[in-house]
Amino acid sequence: MISASHNKAPDNGIKFFSLGGTKLPDEVEDRIEKELEGGRLLPIGDGVGRIRRFADAEDRYVLHLLATLDVSLAGLHVVVDCANGAAAGISPRAFKDAGAQVTAIGSDPDGLNINEGCGSTDLALLQATVRETGADIGIAHDGDADRCLAVDANGNEIDGDHIMAILATSMARRGLLKDSTLVATVMSNLGLEIALDAAGIELKRTAVGDRYVLEEMQAHGFNLGGEQSGHIIFRDHATTGDGLMTGLHLVAEMARTGKTIAELATVMTALPQVLLNVKNVDHTKLASAKDIHDLVIELETELGDTGRILLRPSGTEPLVRVMVEAATMEHATSVATRIADLVTAQLAL
């Protein structure tokens, strides 16, 4: 896949997938990068490979999406932001074919305007359009359409954690959630875990990245997982995150229950979250920094069940990310600042 994902056109890239349609493991991607950087890939004769074109790919994909639904979306007005990317034309069509009234924005890609002032990383246009048109919900994709975020009728954002809470509780209620388990990453808000626990659903956490979510799902047979960013995987129907499928199933729950998306989103209350990026530090020494870990343990004990702390060293730059959730924003900020200050003092370059 040629993809800028949620980035602008200059940051375009390539995604490789396995024969089974899944993202490749890290080690395989690393090998591909080394081969490309080595300059040894010179196609010769019949070693060039072949191209197979599927003229009806869009039709087949939309039919597959619709086959996963059990209700009509008739009577619901949906604004779909296609991010001037892969979803352009296809996502509005899928929602229309499912019965919804559709207003499409960000659906005129020219090869350069992908994610420009639209899409899941810039919701302002979607929020304004939903309010202006009186729509029931807004759906935002990113450039390659593997993400889905939403906004309610008043333009309030509904992130991936809330979407997962809505979908997981819906599937559990209908007996469709495998082993009553949802898979998410360590970045998902503690509020998601609290909401799921109240519904009798277990949350399994993985490292950050939808590939790790999928690996956990495959290893244990779970069928729903995702990320706060809006990558949601329905393993019964797909091998990767699918923003169109996510959006359709989110609106389907509105049709199924007769509730607004704002009402559905109340299934979860997000705890205040603070994320600090501590720059210019030797992130490679974080694992052995005893004083920092001792402070984290002390503060975690203080937070108890009402919050959590996550320290993540960057894999690409001299930076440590400090994430804290607590009952109040003031408490979260205080805890995060104490940790960040110690990280700076002990690991500064």
What is the average pLDDT value for the chain, to the nearest integer? 94
Residues with a known catalytic role: 5
Q: Is the pLDDT of residue 47 over 70?
A: no
- Rounded to whole angstroms, the Cα distance separating 143 from 37 reads 26
DSSP single-letter state for residue 283: G
Q: Is the pLDDT of residue 58 over 70?
A: yes
Residues 6+ apart with CB under 8 A from 274: 322, 323, 324, 325, 329, 332, 333, 335, 336
Domain boundary assignment for the chain: 2-39, 57-265, 273-347
pLDDT-derived band at 182 (thresholds 50, 70, 90) equals very high
Q: Report the pLDDT value the prediction gives residue 168, as an integer from 0 to 100.
A: 99
Q: Is the pLDDT of residue 3 over 90?
A: no
pLDDT-derived band at 36 (thresholds 50, 70, 90) equals confident
Mean pLDDT of 233-252: 97
Mean pLDDT of 52-76: 96
3-state secondary structure of 114: coil
* Partners of residue 189 on adjacent β-strands: none
Mean pLDDT of 36-50: 72
CA atoms within 13 A on the CB side of 192: 29
> Which amino acid type is present at position 178?
K
Rg for the chain, CA atoms, rounded: 21
CA torsion, ordered 255, 261, 262, 267, to nearest 10 deg: 90
Pull the structure tokens for residue 168: 């997981």
Q: What is the CATH number of domain 57-265?
A: 3.40.120.10
Mean pLDDT of 171-183: 98
Mean pLDDT of 98-117: 96
Q: Is the pLDDT of residue 40 over 90?
A: no
Q: Where are the alpha helices (DSSP H) in the chain?
A: 26-38, 57-67, 90-97, 124-133, 160-173, 190-198, 210-220, 243-257, 261-265, 290-303, 329-347
pTM of the model: 0.90
291: left (phi over 0), alpha (psi -120 to 50) or beta: alpha
Mean pLDDT of 313-330: 92
Q: In what order do the strands lie in the sheet with 202-206?
A: 202-206, 181-185, 224-226, 232-234
Pick one of 3.30.310.50, 3.40.50.720, 3.40.50.300, 3.40.50.12780 as the CATH number of 273-347.
Answer: 3.30.310.50
Neighbouring C-beta atoms of residue 106, cutoff 10 Å: 28
Mean pLDDT of 301-327: 92
Q: Report the pLDDT value the prediction gives residue 8, as an integer from 0 to 100.
A: 86
Backbone angles phi, psi at 343, to 5 degrees: -60, -45
Q: Is the pLDDT of residue 157 over 70?
A: yes
- Rounded to whole angstroms, the Cα distance separating 272 from 191 reads 9
Q: Is the pLDDT of residue 45 over 70?
A: no
- Rounded to whole angstroms, the Cα distance separating 76 from 71 reads 12
